[in-house]
């Protein structure tokens, strides 16, 4: 399970350290693509394939835009010996990744955020809105 928050800097070539604690769960290579809230997502290949199968089972016409959003931008990455992954320019642009980056664990995937955007997002997650979300889930 991917847990925690890690802060890094992305270099001018688009290389980003990926948390050592996450690399073992992600496998030798994993998939990075666009995600909700203008961040990126990293899935182990098996998880990404399961999501693809789920989407295909729902019918093409119902979710074609979701498929396009996720799969057109997806790339397979392999951490180098220093644990860095190379993020394509289009993905960096989508998430506004230019310098400071925050990577968070979110159960079966990691999210890659512009640190300023992540901090702003956290400000909107107050206790009351979280309590309402928990109630809506019948948790």
CB 108 within 8 A of CB 46: no
Per-residue pLDDT at 125: 86
Report pTM. Answer: 0.93
Per-residue pLDDT at 36: 93
pLDDT > 90: what percent of the chain?
Answer: 81
Least-confidence region, from 8-12, 19-23, 80-84, 122-126 = 122-126
pLDDT of residue 135 exceeding 80:
yes
Per-residue pLDDT at 61: 80
CB 108 within 8 A of CB 43: yes
């Amino acid at each position: 399970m991917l847990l925690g928050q890690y802060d890094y800097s992305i270099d001018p070539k688009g290389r980003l350290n990926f948390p050592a604690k996450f690399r073992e769960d992600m496998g030798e290579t994993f998939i990075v693509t666009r995600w909700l809230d203008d961040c990126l997502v990293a899935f182990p290949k098996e998880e990404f394939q399961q999501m693809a199968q789920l989407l295909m089972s729902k019918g093409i016409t119902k979710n074609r835009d979701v498929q396009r959003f996720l799969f057109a931008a997806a790339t397979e990455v392999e951490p180098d010996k220093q644990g860095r992954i190379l993020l394509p320019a289009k993905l960096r642009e989508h998430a506004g990744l230019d310098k400071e980056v925050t990577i968070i664990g979110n159960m079966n995937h990691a999210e890659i955020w512009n640190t300023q955007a992540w901090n702003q997002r956290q400000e909107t997650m107050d206790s009351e809105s979280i309590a309402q979300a928990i109630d809506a889930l019948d948790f």
